[in-house]
Amino acid sequence: MNAQPHVIVGLSGGVDSGVAACLLSRQGYRVTGLNIKVLDEPDHEPVLVHSQLRVSDHHEFDFPVFTLNLSGRFRREVIGYFHDAYLAGRTPNPCMVCNKTVKWFGLFEAVHLLGADLVATGHYARTSVTDGRHHLYKGIDPQKDQSYFLWMLNRHEISRTLFPLGGYTKPEVREMARSFGVLAAEKKESQEICFVPHDDYCSYLENALPGLSDRVADGEIVDQSGRVVGRHRGYPFYTIGQRRGLGISTGEPAYVTEIDAARNRIVVGPKPALECRALRAEGLNWIGIEPPAEPFEASAKIRYRDRESRCTVEPQNDGSAIVSFSEPKSAVAAGQAVVFYRGDELLGGGMISGVVKRSKN
């Protein structure tokens, strides 16, 4: 690697990625920005195009920026996945999948096309190298740590990725944005899925999949014993743990505890029925450890804002794992990710495929 490593920084237009780019430039890296387009008309092949996007109003940070149109890939890998997950009765996490299949794909495509050395993003996470192996860690700001969304990255990708913001808190990043003259310094953060207007996924699915509502309308709502207690508008429009909008009266608060896509059926029950102590995870990816052959203990989260819980991970012969928790977890949803930690280090993760009901005997 030369004396001035060339790094491709993913620019989203937000404050975090802007500060990451400026910080790396200030640290002596040769910075090139990359803005990935995902909602344009798709191109047949990824082509880098010079962009007029500027990160800062300070001339010190006048580095080149390119755009890369990956809209076709985004529609296949992210929007297609989003549709398929809901049609299968699962709850997708499109931002997590986009990181792996679109953002890092695009960043390394730019590395190849521009002859760069490294990539970087504004995610709040950290890496380190021990005995020649790269490890991934939480960001130091517990309110902003984004390591959960990165479990799908492989070791090669981690080894060539910089996370300049992982050692800072969000207020510190805001202050740096002002001092660097970052144009997005006061921009508010968006919590919405970029392709779902107003964060209303039900209306989005109805419009994106014509005829869906008619195909799935008027399914059964059943209680824990299988007794029909009402009718629903279609299983894709419900999520595990949902209470509002069920349109039924059972004499006590009822929550969606199961989604049966094959029979277009929603199962409801009292809040305790949402709890479980074990789940199955598939599509496992390991970063901090070798693929385990024996059970081991860790901490795990089943969604981004979940509180970590102690667990035992039991590898299965089919490549999946049974994850047993020391305390009950509520509203475990197939399609979400379970991510494993040891202290601040992210060990790996997998996609939740369902709840495991242990025998009481």
The better pLDDT of the pair 281, 2 is held by 281
H or E element at residue 314: strand 309-315
Rounded to two decimals, what is the model's pTM? 0.93
Query: Average pLDDT, stretch 318-338?
Result: 97
d(CA 185, CA 173): 9
Lowest-confidence pick of 94-98, 187-191, 301-305: 187-191
Average pLDDT over residues 24-33: 97
> Quick check: 22 and 180 in contact, CB under 8 A?
yes
- Which pLDDT belongs to residue 361? 44
Q: What is the mean pLDDT of residues 81-85?
A: 97
When pLDDT is averaged across residues 64-74 and rounded to a whole number, the result is 96
DSSP lists the bridge partners of residue 311 as 298, 325
**Above 70 in pLDDT, residue 352?**
yes
pLDDT at 45: 73
For 187-246, the pLDDT digits (tens) are 777 777 999 999 999 999 999 999 999 999 999 999 999 999 999 999 999 999 999 989
Residue 85 confidence (pLDDT): 97
Which amino acid is it at 77? E
| Average pLDDT, rounded, for the chain | 94
Rounded average pLDDT over 320-326: 97
- 136-157: per-residue pLDDT in tens? 999 999 999 999 999 999 999 9
Give the domain 211-269 fold: SH3 type barrels. (2.30.30)
Q: With 70 as the cut, is the pLDDT of residue 6 above it?
A: yes
Tell me, what's the pLDDT at 358?
64
Residue 357's pLDDT is: 81
Q: Are both 6-180 and 276-355 of the same fold? A: no
Average pLDDT over residues 275-298: 96
**Helix, strand, or coil (residue 284):** strand
Class of domain 6-180: alpha beta
Portion of the chain with pLDDT greater than 90, in percent: 87
Q: What residues act catalytically?
A: 98, 194
CATH class of the domain at 276-355: mainly beta
Q: What's the confidence (pLDDT) of residue 360?
A: 53
Give me the mean pLDDT over the 16-32 stretch. Answer: 97
Instruction: Please tell me the predicted confidence (pLDDT) of residue 103.
Output: 97
- Domain boundaries along the sequence of the chain: 6-180, 211-269, 276-355
**Residue 132's pLDDT band (boundaries 50, 70, 90)?**
confident
Rounded to whole angstroms, what are the CA distances from 341 to 7, 54, 289, 310, 311?
A: 28, 37, 11, 9, 10
Supply the pLDDT for residue 1. Answer: 44
User: Does residue 2 register a pLDDT over 80?
Assistant: no
Dihedral over alpha carbons 285, 112, 70, 92 (to 10 degrees): 10
Give the DSSP H or E segment for 16: helix 15-26
Q: Which helix (H) or strand (E) holds 84?
A: helix 80-87
- Does residue 359 surpass a pLDDT of 60? no
